[in-house]
Amino acid sequence: MSRVPVDVLDYYDAEVVRRIIEKYGYGERDALEQFIGSQTYRMLANPAMEMWQFGPEGLFNIWESEKVTGSPKNSAYLRML
């Protein structure tokens, strides 16, 4: 089974976590735990889903939709699919 390269996950970890910190004021550790513990992150880590194509802003939007509504599928990025 293929995997999403670690450097890709590291890049998105840093970019999405930065946005979480800026918008919600979490500390770095809490923001990272919020992101890594999310369904959005599990989707990103699944190579078949190709979630990295949404870019950092798109992934932040998907994560935020999950945080607010309980499901990442409520994001405008995923409703379009």
At 1-48, the pLDDT tens digits run 589 999 999 999 999 999 999 999 999 999 999 999 999 999 999 999
CB 39 within 8 A of CB 32: no
Q: What is the CA radius of gyration of the chain?
A: 12
Sequence-distant (6+) residues with CB within 8 A of 39 are: 66, 71, 72
Query: For residues 53 and 28, what is the distance between their CA atoms, to the nearest angstrom?
Result: 24
pTM of the model: 0.92
Per-domain boundaries in the chain = 6-79
Sequence-distant (6+) residues with CB within 8 A of 30 are: none
